[in-house]
Amino acid sequence: MSDQNPVFIPGPTNIPDRLRLAMQVQTKDHRAPDFVETFAPVLEDTKKVFSTTSGKIITFPSSGTGGWEAAICNTLSPGDTVLVARYGMFSHRWIDLCQRHSLNVQIIECPWGSGAPADKFEAALSADSDHTIKAVLVTHNETATGVLSDVGAVRAAIDAASHPAMLFVDCVSSLGSVPFQMDTWGVDIAVAGSQKGFMLGTGMAILAVSPKALDAMDSAKLHRTFFDFRDMMKANSSGGFPYTPPLSLIYGMRESLKMLFEEGLENVYARHHRLAEGVRRAVEAWGLKLVAQSPELYSDTVSAIYVPDGFDSNALTDHAFAEYGVSFGIGLGEMNGRAFRIGHLGSLTDVMVLSGLATIEMAMADLDYPVDLGSGVIAAQNYFRNSRPTAVRSAA
């Protein structure tokens, strides 16, 4: 019966029945004339989630990691310098990917639990008077630590240094769950995926690309074939795909966008904030600490929570899975063994979140954590009862 339980990992997220059904499609010919009618509106509507009118949506059959690679390979050349801060496992992995593509990666090391350091970016960009830095890379929501960074502040830092570098943002675990303002923040490439805020299965990388980044394609010399923006855009413009498209995910995406717009993006963001706040009230009641260093960094899609000294977070997540059939996120990288994560994004309600809190409390009690059984659930219940918007009844 454990497959009835929701997952509390920060992606892939729970797939609502409506989307599972939407993805159950018989084979269709992607070269038939009606594929245009299927795909073009999806590309157009996806822009609304990125808050862009000038950006171009480009998708690939791949997980989010392929989206990182596509962003880099289409716009940069071997030896180009990119500026990145490392503050968690995902920013670390994007750095690794850049290094393997022979980019010169200028790294700002930051403590895990902190966010994108706009002031340090500004200093590095101001010092770069020859403009060798071609792009600044930011992980919007660092899924390993539960930290949401201020992308607008990074844009302000680039502008303050009067630097022409492009701004690339990983929004895989934030897009469609918290506000994202591609045009306002002057983002040149935003990278997302199908399996988090869009509540679908894994397998589609979703990018939004600015006119400036598209211009960079002409001089970029990194190799690309499968991930070539030019092939994809050319095929898409006549309603096609350069190879076989992931048809079921495209159908899923169409329905996911409908769901998000029916609820209303503002309501979706408000729901994520409320659910996250309920989780944070529980963490406080348990007497535990978030990895995120301060409230303005708290992520509304995932909370990383330190276990008390002397406890092993892997034993906790293993026990929750073995005993209760519920998955929570393990601690990644530096946080392995030290923290566990509760994913609270995608298709989730108050009731589901309360079940997750109740479950992890049982697991903690079983392992003799100094945590009062029920304390976190009560804190979240009180918060949810007193903050319940009417819109929530029809949500998710």
Footprint of ligand PLP on this chain (CB under 6 A)? 11, 63-65, 90, 139, 141, 143, 170, 172-173, 193, 202
Q: What is the DSSP string of 174-205?
A: TBTTB---TTTTT-SEEEEETTSTT---S-EE
Shortest Å, Cβ 359 to ligand PLP: 22
Please, which residue, 112 or 286, has the CB nearer to ligand PLP?
A: 112
Contact in structure between 17 and 242 (CB atoms under 8 Å): no
Please, which residue, 64 or 278, has the CB nearer to ligand PLP?
A: 64
**Cis peptide bond upstream of 370, omega within 30:** no
Phi and psi at 193, nearest 5°, equal: -145, 170
- Residue 187 in tokens: 């983002």
Q: For the purposes of burial, counting CB atoms within 10 Å of the CB of 37, is it exposed (0-12), middle (13-18) or buried (19 or more)?
A: exposed
Please give the helix or strand (H or E) that residue 379 lies within, else none.
Answer: helix 375-386
Shortest Å, Cβ 27 to ligand PLP: 25
Shortest Å, Cβ 263 to ligand PLP: 22
Please, which residue, 171 or 209, has the CB nearer to ligand PLP?
A: 171
Please, which residue, 180 or 286, has the CB nearer to ligand PLP?
A: 180
What is d(CA 97, CA 259) in angstroms, rounded to the nearest whole number?
34
**H helix runs in 287-349, sequence order:** 313-324
Q: Which residue is nearest to ligand PLP (CB)?
A: 64
Shortest Å, Cβ 26 to ligand PLP: 27
Please, which residue, 70 or 158, has the CB nearer to ligand PLP?
A: 70
Shortest Å, Cβ 156 to ligand PLP: 22
The structure tokens 């830095």 sit at: 133
